[in-house]
Amino acid sequence: MLEVNGLTAGYGRLTALKGVDIRVDEGEIVFIVGPNGAGKSTLLKTVAGLMAPTAGTVGFRGRPIAGRVPEELCRQGLVLVPEGRHIFRTLTVQENLAVGAMIRKDKAALAEDLEKVLDTFPILRDRFKGIAGHLSGGEQQQLAIARAILQRPALMMIDEPSLGLAPLVIDQVYESLRQLNAGGLTLLVVEQSTARILDLASRVYVLRNGHVVLEGTAPELAEGNALEDAYFGYVADGHAVA
Ligand code: ATP
């Protein structure tokens, strides 16, 4: 569904992504993990059309999309839930969801999707008329995901959904991701921590200093210390690498 090859991007003279290859197949939940500054957000922003790559290709559903603007990609089914959620804090939950649905013209199907989203996230039904800024961090994350679902994504990319959340709340957010994936949504999720991801992931990429340093399926990475070693930049004999 998503094919990223040799993707290079940065900020002025700083190259944050240095030739990254990743792919996401239909039906998968793929995680990208890596320490601070590894280039994870830059990767999602470049795929989502918020940044232009300096080299490399991005293919989505068989078509090249590098350089396309976010609105166009969103219409094609590629939707980003950005880091920090970016909800409108002074608007109600209902109004935030309406903003997510603005690109849609199929109002009858939208009403059905809204009902489904409120079934998936019952707390949003309870707080429908409430101010979004009064929601807890976990509830705001659910709102950001719900808003993205109303854009009818085929692939949803989520930047650090567990950021700032308590462990129990992370479990709830991850459970909702599991349900969405079981319902047919393909997911590409960035996380800083490797904790918990193996239960949910189909495959994992570890990103360090703008490079993919490890890729594997969840069962492969559950064995041994390869995931931690790659994350912290150690090779098997304990020596530090890049
Ligand atoms: P984190 O987990 O801290 O969000 P990350 O893996 O998402 O890290 P990026 O945010 O992609 O990493 O950052 C990659 C590199 O690009 C870092 O060196 C960072 O300092 C730099 N960077 C990120 N955003 C900008 C920006 N707007 N302007 C200049 N440099 C930036």
Residue 82: closest CA among 11, 27, 1, 145: 145
The predicted-structure confidence for 11-53, as pLDDT tens digits, reads as follows 999 999 999 999 999 999 999 999 999 999 999 999 999 999 9
CATH 3.40.50.300 maps onto the chain at: 1-77+154-242
Summarize the confidence of residues 130-153 as an average pLDDT: 92
The DSSP bridge pattern shows strands 55-60 and 63-64 to be antiparallel
CATH code of the region 1-77+154-242: 3.40.50.300
Element (H, E) at 109: helix 107-120
Nearest CA to ligand 1 atom 28: 11
The predicted-structure confidence for 100-115, as pLDDT tens digits, reads as follows 777 777 888 888 899 9
CB environment 140-161: b (16+ within 10 A), e (fewer) = bbbbbbbbbbbbbbbbbbbbbb
Ligand 1 atom with minimal separation from the 83 CA: 4
Residue 178's pLDDT band (boundaries 50, 70, 90)? very high
* Sign, CA torsion 93/99/103/106: positive
The DSSP bridge pattern shows strands 155-159 and 186-191 to be parallel
Q: pLDDT averaged over the chain?
A: 89
CA–CA gap between residue 124 and residue 122 (Å, rounded) = 5
Q: Ligand 1: distance of its center to the CA of 39 in Å?
A: 6
